[in-house]
């Protein structure tokens, strides 16, 4: 619909604005609009949004010159420069981290079940070091985590309970802290959570050796023979973790590895 003249016969000026959508109310005659003057007496109609406006609601003057009862119009097609900057920054950040993760995942080897667990040596919180291959003969739950990881805080008490339950059967939980917190912060976290298994200070190279560790927590279940039997990415239920522990405990080669360990500690059996 077209904008009409005002009820007193004064044509609408270009400087008048619709308070509904902010569009300029252009000068049009009733004859050009083809409407009945009686139907529009005392009112105008916005050409842009079709709103029928009482004469008192029509805002005059420049955009922004509005009285207290008339809000400033939001011009259609305008863009907030600050919003555009924010969108551009978010897009750039997504591209950067996407490229970074793709580069890491592309350089990390694929870790498969039944494959050997990559060996490593890492410093522990007590100042010593642990080499994964030294745990051969035990079922190992290798847990990658971080102090800032919310799901890790839920999972850690489960790991403490499972270490107590299955430790006598040959389970060894090993935590690898994969964050930038200092050694003191990691030790405080472990103490507050009542951790009863060794916690190691992780390195990016070790994470890459295990496929890049794309999410935390991430656990690898290693059989007594040193081969990976299962893995869990992210937070899962305690029962799922327990099932994977049982798989690691029930692996071939357990007896032979245990026998080798016995020989190392006690010497060969005497006839």
β-sheet bridge partners, residue 17: 24, 59
Give the number of other Cβ atoms within 10 Å of residue 40's Cβ: 19
Helices (H), 72-139: 81-107
- Give the mean model confidence (pLDDT) for residues 128-138: 96
14-68 confidence digits (pLDDT tens): 446 677 676 666 555 444 444 444 444 456 677 777 777 665 555 454 444 444 4
Q: What's the pLDDT score for residue 86?
A: 72
195-250 confidence digits (pLDDT tens): 999 999 999 999 999 999 889 999 999 999 999 999 999 999 999 999 999 999 99
Q: What's the pLDDT score for residue 53?
A: 65
- Give the mean model confidence (pLDDT) for residues 188-200: 96
Q: What's the pLDDT score for residue 68?
A: 43
What contacts 186, CB < 8 A, 6 or more positions away? 125, 147, 177, 179, 199, 201
What is the CATH code for 121-266?
3.40.30.10
Q: What's the pLDDT score for residue 128?
A: 94
92-124 confidence digits (pLDDT tens): 656 544 434 443 444 445 565 668 999 999 999
């Amino acid at each position: 619909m077209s904008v009409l003249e005002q009820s007193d016969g004064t044509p609408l000026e270009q400087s008048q604005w619709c308070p509904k959508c902010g569009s300029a109310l252009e000068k049009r005659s009733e004859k050009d609009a083809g409407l009945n003057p009686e139907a529009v007496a005392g009112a105008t109609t916005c050409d842009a949004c079709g709103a029928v406006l009482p004469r008192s609601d029509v805002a005059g003057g420049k955009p922004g010159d509005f009285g207290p009862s008339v809000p400033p119009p939001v011009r259609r097609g305008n863009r907030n420069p600050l919003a555009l900057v924010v969108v551009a920054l978010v897009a750039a950040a997504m591209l950067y981290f996407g490229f970074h993760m793709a580069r890491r995942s592309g350089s990390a080897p694929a870790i498969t079940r039944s494959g050997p667990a990559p060996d490593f040596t890492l410093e522990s919180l007590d100042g010593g070091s642990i080499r994964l291959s030294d745990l051969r003969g035990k079922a190992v739950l290798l847990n990658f985590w971080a102090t800032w990881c919310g799901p890790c805080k839920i999972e850690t008490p489960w790991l403490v309970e499972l270490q107590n339950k299955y430790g006598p059967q040959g389970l060894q939980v090993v935590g690898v802290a994969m964050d930038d917190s200092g050694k003191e912060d990691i030790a405080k976290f472990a103490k507050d959570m009542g951790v009863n298994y060794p916690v190691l200070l992780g390195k990016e190279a070790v994470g890459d050796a295990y496929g890049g560790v794309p999410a935390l927590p991430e656990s690898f279940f290693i059989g007594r023979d040193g081969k990976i039997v299962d893995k869990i990415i992210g937070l899962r239920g305690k029962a799922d973790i327990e099932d994977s522990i049982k798989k690691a405990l029930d692996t071939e080669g357990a007896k032979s590895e245990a026998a080798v360990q016995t020989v190392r500690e006690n010497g060969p059996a005497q006839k």
